[in-house]
Amino acid sequence: MLAPICLFTYNRLKETQQTIEALKNNYLASESELYVFSDGWKNEISKNKVIKIRDFLRTVNGFKSIRIEESSYNKGLANSIIYGATQIIRKHEKIIVLEDDLVTAPNFLNFMNQALDFYVNNPKIFSITGYSLNLPKLKTYNKDFYLGYRASSWGWGTWKNRWDSVDWEVKNYNHFKYNFSDQCRFMRGGSDMPSMLKNQMNGRIDSWAIRWCYNQFKQNTLTVFPSRSKLISIGFTFEATHTKKTNRFYTDLDSSNQTTFKFDTNPVINEQITNELRNKYSILNRLKDKLFI
């Protein structure tokens, strides 16, 4: 059984069209169920854009089945994803999630489904992602995957028992924010993570992803990444709500015809790769983004 695909859209028609066209070109698209959650508009300007998105969605084909849920009000990205993923994962036990600004390689669904099947009973694996940065070590790396301390919100998948284990309220945050040791360990995924969680808890940002990452950290689990990225983001535009222009996340899309991937029963962290991944989120690299973009 292939995992259902859950796609979240808002008001960017061009990006949504590119996302769906690329997804339709996946080798497993015609065998996959697609659920689309269309968030409601915030104002009259976004209303017209959302209506155009919904008109387009009704023309989509190329999948085993397509179901569209149109929200009557604006939930926002975080609430939309938590709500939609919860509905689908309760029904199917596993899920693959995309947002409306991600262009996938034709073998994205192959990688995701094979990894989800392989690691379903491994409690050390919290999620799978189809995204990978261009890390120096990967140029000479001979495996199809690597592990990371940080979950990715771009083209990811997980299972019901992992999803249900998440405390979205982060009830133990007051203990965490005064625990220097925990904060240092949390930064194994990037020095930006404690401050992002702080901003979330103080209401300065609205992110489901940092809470997802925090719960992965608290459970001492890992994310599976592909050695060659199975998707790229096209979301760094002036209309983007949660992504701004940056160079840090540019990567090469897998152009191979590979459809079968090998995984390890007892995978281990490659510290050189995790160090390179962590460096992408360093204060220096984040500062360079602000200064040179």
Q: Which two tokens stand for residue 12?
A: 């960017």
What pLDDT, on a 0 to 100 scale, did the predictor assign at position 238?
A: 44
Per-residue model confidence as pLDDT tens digits over 259-277: 999 999 999 999 999 999 9
Least confident window among 10-14, 68-72, 256-260, 278-282: 278-282
Residue 33 CB partners (closer than 8 Å, separation 6+): 2, 4, 5, 63, 64, 65, 66, 67, 92
Max intra-chain CA distance, the chain: 53
Q: For residues 156 and 225, give the distance between their C-alpha atoms in angstroms, rounded to a whole number.
A: 9
Compute how many other C-beta atoms are within 10 angstroms of the C-beta atom of residue 174. Answer: 10
- What are φ and ψ of residue 67, in 5° steps? -125, 135
User: What is the C-alpha to C-alpha distance for residues 226 and 108, in angstroms, rounded to an integer?
Assistant: 10
Question: Which pLDDT score is estimated for 4?
Answer: 98
- Given a cut of 60, is residue 17 above it in pLDDT? yes
Q: What is the pLDDT of residues 95-130, one digit of tens each?
A: 999 999 999 999 999 999 999 999 999 999 999 999
CATH of domain 5-292: 3.90.550.10
Is pLDDT above 70 for 290? no
State the pLDDT at residue 282: 76
Element (H, E) at 271: helix 271-279
What is the arithmetic mean of pLDDT over 160-188? Answer: 97
> What whole-number percentage of the chain has pLDDT above 90?
89
Domain boundaries, the chain: 5-292
CA 158 – CA 60 distance, rounded (Å): 25
3-state SS, 209-248, equals HHHHHHHHHHCCCEEEEECCCCEEECCCCCCCCCCCCCCC
Flag whether pLDDT at 243 surpasses 50.
Answer: no
Nearest to 225 by CA among 261, 260, 184: 261
For residue 240, pLDDT over 50 is answered with no
Task: Tell me the two tokens of residue 128.
Answer: 């799978």
Give dist(CA 183, CA 138) in Å, integer.
28
When pLDDT is cut at 50, 70 and 90, the band that residue 250 belongs to is confident
3-state SS class at 289:
helix
Mean pLDDT, range 51-63, rounded to an integer: 98
Q: Please give the pLDDT value at position 293.
A: 47
182-233 tens-digit pLDDT: 999 999 999 999 999 999 999 999 999 999 999 999 999 999 999 999 999 9
